[in-house]
Structures are given as C-alpha cells and as structure tokens.
Structure 1
C-alpha cells in the first residue's frame, strides 16, 4: 500500500466491487435508471480559492518528490523491465481475477478473493465534465488528451471507445475542492439514483487520494459494465492529472485490481509508471479478446490466457 496513491474504486451495483488502498467494502443495491437528457451545466470559469491553490502546490511537491525518486516514469519501460509471456499471463490473472478488497465471502487469509472476468459489451462513450474552477485552457488540454487516449484504447482493445460531448456512459469528472457541490449535482443529473455514498466520496477525499473510478453493472448481468464514473482532482499537477486519466479510465474498462508483480505497469501501487505501458496495452487486448467472455472464472480462462500471452509476445505455444 502506498502512502501517497490513487484511490481506485470499482463498484458494480449487483456485486462487482474493488476498492484499492482501503479495507472498506461497499455493496449498495440501488438499480440505476436510464439517464434523461442532461440539462446544460452552468460551469462558467470561477477562480479557485486559496485553499484549492494551496492543495495544488501540495500536489506539485508530491509530483516533484516522486520524479526525484525516479518514479512516474513515462518511458513505458525498457531493458530494466523485461517480461515474458508467463509474466504477462500471471499479471493478467492477478489483475483480472483477484480482488484484494472485495469484501465478499470466500476471502483468503491474505484478504484476497476471486472475481469473474468483467468488461463492457456496449460501445464506450467517454464524456468529460469540468468543475467551474478548472481554467478554460486546462479544459481544452484535458479534453484533447482524453480524446487521444480513447482512440488509443479503442485500437488496443478492438472495442468501440471514443470521447463524446454528451450522452456518455463513462463520465470523467475533473473538478477541484471548491467544486464539490457542482460535481455532485451534475452526477445526480447524469446518473439518476446514483448511490449517496458514491457521491460522498467526492466530498470526503483526503489529500493522499488523487482520483478514483467506480463502475456499474446491470442488474441482470453482474459481469458486464454498463456505466462508469471517474473523478480526478483538478488540483493535481500536470503529470499526476494525466496519470489519473490513464489509470482510472483503463481500470474502468474492467482491470480494476493491482498486482505488485506487474511491471512495467500502471496496474501496480508503486507509482513507478505514470502512463499506460506496452505491457498494459497487452493486458487490455487480452481482456477484450473474443476468446474470453464476461463471467469466466480464472480457472476457466487460464488456458486461453496463456495462449493469448504467447501470441502477444511472439512466443511459441
């Protein structure tokens, strides 16, 4: 567990849940209703408060400290981070089929439990919302980065993923500490019947947590994601904010766990890598390969996972 880390929360209302870096388990039973056409948001730019500015300085110090220690790498790995097909298969199984904080029955002595393969079936449309204190130039830059990242994820997974101005089913909220009320009200509009404890996370985040994501599954198919919400603090410095975009959206696709053995990877709590790596692209490619299906157990998927890993690494079967 990292002292300074992302809060990664994956929640499916019918039972899917993964909350990283927290021993708490939340299992609400509310069934989401279809979202009506959202009303235009009033989020004209408002300068941030002194408290928000101080928080931004804090996250800049955090980023600088991590960079000084050789963390938050953006090179994607190299000769110092070798991995083979066996490593890739093992990492996939740990990230896709093990939940360290599910709170479910059958938890092992180490606090882990097995989960089923979970991913989206419908096309993913990523809609980005900004709090009033996010400057217009930052909004434009972040939208551009998210649009490019969505295109990359679509290419990697073969799944339909793109950014959208409205009618999104994957909502990314980038907002500051001054924007709590706005963000909560906006999510109530976009996702009717969103559980109150999910909204409360936005108002109760402590400094060590930069961002989080939670996902919703349909009532009739607990292993298929139908909606997701990622929340990212706008006070994050540039690289931390981009790191949050990469990690939370990727985890919202279905790889909600972390593994200390995954390297080079953002699916690891150590903050070594800031951005999605080629290793992570392979994990997402495996997740959305048609030879795997939602609801598979780790044992059922293992033979296929090993084949996929060897194919991706160019190793003989």
Structure 2
C-alpha cells in the first residue's frame, strides 16, 4: 500500500497547498504577486515532459550478508508486523490486465516498468491487450473510491479479487488475507485515475513490486521503494535485485523461512558475486517505538501540535539508539517540515541537520536533493539567491536520474527565481520554461503548476516575505 502523499510523503514536495505546513519553506501564501517572468509563464504552459524509458541509477555495492537478511525480513513479514508462514510468488507467466478509467500516459508508464521487470529482474511478465483479464489486474479508479476502502491509501494491492467492487465481501471472507496464501494466483492493484501522472506512475512501481515480491517495508533500507519514507518514486536497482532473487529457480512458493535461508548463500553468490567481498553495514532493526512516533507525526487525523510532538520524539529516540544513518536524518526532516509554521528558525536548523546527514553518503544523494530544495527556499526567502544556487547545483541531474519530475520542477523553479534575483533574466526564463514541462507531469493539473510557480515567486523578500 502506498500512503497518501499528503500524509506521508513529505520529501516528495507533493503536499497540496495549505496542508500541514505547506510545500515550501517558510510557510507561503499563494496570493502574492509573482515576478514579471513568472507572470509571463502563467497563461500558457508548454507540453508535458517525459523521462526516457530507462533503468534507475546504479546502487552502491551491497554485501550478501545484508542482502540475505533484508530478503528474509522483507519476504516473511507484513507491514503490520504479522509473520508470513511461507514464501509466496507467482509460479509461471504473469499476465497483467489493465482496466478502468485509464488516464493518458498510464499504459506507457506501465509498459516501461514491465520492460524493466523483464530485463532487470528476469521476470516472465507481459501486459495483455485491452479488455483481457490476467492473473494480475491493474484497475484505474477515482481516488475517492480507493479512500472509501482504505482512507489513508493512495493505491494498494490485494489478493483474491479482480475488481474493487469485490473487495469488501472478499475481506469479510478472509480471501484478502496474505497469511493464508500458499502461492500467488490472482491479485488486483488499484491506482488513482485522477491523480497527477507521476503519482499514478509511482503507484504502479510500488504496488507492482509488492504484488510480485516482498510485502513488507523496512525503514533501514535507504535505496529502495520497500521503505515507508517513500523517497524513491521508481524501482531502484536494489529493488530489481530483490525481485530477481524472488523469482530465482532455487526458490518456490510454499517454502519456509528456514528453507529459503538455506538456499540464499548459493543464490546470492550467483546473482550478486561482488557482494561476497563487501563488508556488511549491520544496520540495526528499526524499533516499533520509533515507527509509532513516525506514524504519529505523519498519520491521518493528527493535530498539528501532536504531529510535532511525534517528530520530536522520533528525533529523541533516534539519538538514543545511537543512529547516524538516514533514519536519524528522516527524523530531523520530519521535525523541520512540521515546525515551519510555528518556529521557522528552528525548522531551518533541523532541515540543515537532515541535509548534512544525507550528504555524507552517496547512497542518499536523492534524499539530499530534497533537503537542498528546502534549504534553498529558506535562502531565497532570506535574500541570499547565491546560496540558493549553490545548494541547488547538480541537484537537477540527480532528479533526472531518479526520474522524479516533481522534485526536478521544484529545483528548476527555485533556480529560476534565484537567477532572476542575481540579474540573469534570460537564463531564468529558460530554466523556468523547462521546469513547467516537468511540473505538468509531477503536479498534474495546470492550476497546481501555476500555484507552485506563484508560491516560489512569493519567496522573494522584495515582496514582503521574510523569515
């Protein structure tokens, strides 16, 4: 299940305007007058930009010891914490049906990820022609219909059914209980038909990964969509390796954890030979207490004050565990974002701490690109466009590599504003125009693109905005 962006994907910069603390730092109003260049860009938007159909950037080498531990923890437990008695996967060819109110571009994005699954994970998977039902069926339905069934979900995958209308009865009959499966034979994925193109694509990647492979998420994984922080919007090389392991001939549905564990050393020697000589990271398990505080900070129906308390406690717990990894950084990031409206200066300190932690490891450079955007917004609001440009330097390439149009649009919009403030109007106009094509894919409707453009223009302190 992919949580609602508005509740749980702070780093995606995809929060609707005005929700929680707003989308940029410091808190913004959308009524401010945009710059002249921004006004010129408002009436007509350029065509939507699309990423080339390619794989994700190379992942850092991972030890086979870490990979074996990750695979077992991912494959034999649900996100809820319930244990799975046996290993399950599809046996035989996976035939994907696509039905419902399919928005433009969704079939293209689906074909792209299916091609990657065949090429990078070695999975025998095909998409059926329109109108045909497979053993894995993707349904595009209005987001409101999804939230009627799971209020905090943007999209989800479930066994035992084909259509959303079957869900409630199947749930009452326990046909949707993953712990009862011995193999995977019929699954359905439900994605929003009325979301921004990137949100729909991200749902396809995450839900396909769980439909085909592990059902758990682990906060200790920095380079994976199998992580509830939702930093990664497309399947990573690490994810593809996990899925290649899932469909390795050494394994089969019905195996116990001990049986799978016994086969992993030889399997990993074959699939990840370099991992024999990589030192394991030995990241500790993520305690439930910390995850509970993250849920309090980001979950549905929580008051703003209680969200901040949850984030503060997450930081305190992370420090008490002695963490120095991306989980401590994420704790600071949550606290920074959630503190912006009450204490912008403190929020800036927390975001800076998150950025420094993320920047220490090449494996979290995507995370660092997100925090750089937040800090650049503070720099612009503080009248320091040169600092904003320095923070954003090289970040657009990272966003392109990870195919995150929303992040890329924010980077380019901020760069354009900074360039204009430093007396480079022609370059600012070019960069801003480029950002709008990506924003149409990342944010969706034209009003959302225009609102974000105006929101960033409002950071200019010359129009009365300051920290």
Q: Would the TM-score normalized by the shorter structure come out above 0.5?
A: yes
RMSD: 3.7
Q: Which residue of 2 aligns with 1:164?
A: 128
Mapped contact 2:95–2:134 kept (Cα < 8 A): yes
Tell me, yes or no, if the aligned pair for 1:202 and 1:231 is still in contact at 8 Å: no
CA distance change for structure 1 residues 87 and 60 in 2, over 3 Å: closer, same or farther? farther
SS at match of 1:98: coil
Q: Which residue of 2 aligns with 1:256?
A: 215
Q: CA deviation at 1:160?
A: 2.2
Deviation for aligned residue 1:277: 0.6
Distance in 1 separating the partners of 2:75 and 2:119: 20
In 2, the alpha carbon distance for the partners of 1:93 and 1:256 equals 11
| 1:284 alignment partner, one of 235, 243, 253 | 243
Q: Is 2:6–2:16's contact at 8 Å kept on the other side of the alignment?
A: no
In the superposition, the TM-score normalised over structure 2's length comes to 0.42
1:89 pairs with 2:68: yes
Structure 1 residues 87, 123: CA separation in 2 closer, same or farther (over 3 Å shift)? same
C-alpha contact (below 8 Å) 2:3/2:153 kept by paired residues: no
Q: Is the alpha carbon distance of 1:4 and 1:100 closer, same or farther for their aligned partners in structure 2, counting shifts above 3 Å?
A: same
Distance 1:233 1:58, change over 3 A: farther
Correspondence for 1:300: 259
The alignment covers a number of residue pairs equal to 222
**Separation of aligned partners in 2, 1:163 and 1:175:** 19
Q: Determine which structure has greater relative contact order: mean sequence separation of CA pairs < 8 Å that are 6+ residues apart, divided by chain length.
A: 1
Corresponding residue for 2:156?
212
Offset from partner CA, 1:226-259 (integer Å, 9 cap, x none): 1111001123322222111001011111321112
Structure 1 residue 77, shift from structure 2 partner: 6.0
Give per-residue Cα distances to partners, 1:16-46, cap 9 Å, x unaligned.
xxxxxxxxxxxxxxxxxxxxxxxxxxxxxxx
What does residue range 23-172 of structure 1 map to in structure 2 within 5 Å?
Answer: 58=16, 65=23, 76=56, 83-101=62-80, 111-131=81-101, 138-139=103-104, 141-165=105-129, 166-172=132-138
Match of 1:203 in 2: 148
**Deviation, structure 1 residue 167:** 2.8
CA distance in 1 between counterparts of 2:67 and 2:250 reads: 17
- 2:210 is the counterpart of 1:231: no
- Give ranges in structure 2 of 5+ residues lacking alignment: 8-13, 27-53, 161-174, 278-467
Distance 1:5 1:309, change over 3 A: farther
Alignment check: 8 A CA contact 2:123 2:244 kept: no
Q: CA deviation at 1:282?
A: 0.6
8 Å contact kept, 2:17–2:23: no
The structure that is strand-richer by fraction is 1
Say whether the 8 Å CA contact 1:117–1:296 is kept in structure 2.
yes
Match of 2:445 in 1: none
Task: Return the alpha-carbon distance in structure 2 between the equivalents of residues 251 and 60 of structure 1.
Answer: 32
61 and 234 in structure 1: CA distance in 2 versus 1, 3 angstrom threshold: farther
What residue in structure 1 maps to residue 271 of structure 2? 312
- Contact persistence 2:2–2:153 (CA under 8 A): no
Judging by fraction of residues, say which structure has more helix: 2
Q: Which runs of 5+ in 1 are unaligned?
A: 8-55, 69-73, 102-110, 181-200
The alpha-carbon deviation at position 280 of structure 1 amounts to: 0.6
Segments of 4+ moved more than 6 angstroms? 59-62
The alpha carbon displacement at 1:100 in A equals: 4.1
CA contact (8 A) 2:95 2:127 kept: yes
